[in-house]
Amino acid sequence: MSKKLGKNNISKPTIKELQKSRTGGQIALKGFTYQFLYSCYLILSTMDKDTFFYLEGIEDIDKININNNIHIQLKYSSQKQDASFLKDILKNYLEVYLLDKKNRNFKLVYDFSVAKGNLRKLFDSNLDTESKNYWIKVIKQIKEENPTWNWKEFSYDNFISKLSFEKVEKNTLSQKIEESLIKIHNITSDNISLFANAIKIFCLEKMEKRGSINKNNFDELILKC
Which pLDDT tens digit goes with each residue over 106-153?
999 999 999 999 999 999 999 999 999 999 999 999 999 999 999 999
pLDDT of residue 21: 59
pLDDT of residue 150: 96
What is the identity of the amino acid at 53?
F
Q: Does the structure show a pLDDT above 50 at 214?
A: yes
How many Å is the Cα radius of gyration of the chain?
21
Which pLDDT tens digit goes with each residue over 159-176?
999 999 999 999 999 889
187-208 residues labelled b (16+ CB within 10 A) or e (exposed): beeeeeeebbeebbebbeebbe
- From CA 223, how far away is CA 221, in angstroms rounded? 5
The predicted model gives 13-21 an average pLDDT of 63
The domain ranges of the chain are 30-224
- From CA 203, how far away is CA 218, in angstroms rounded? 10
The band of 177, judged by pLDDT with boundaries at 50, 70 and 90, is: confident
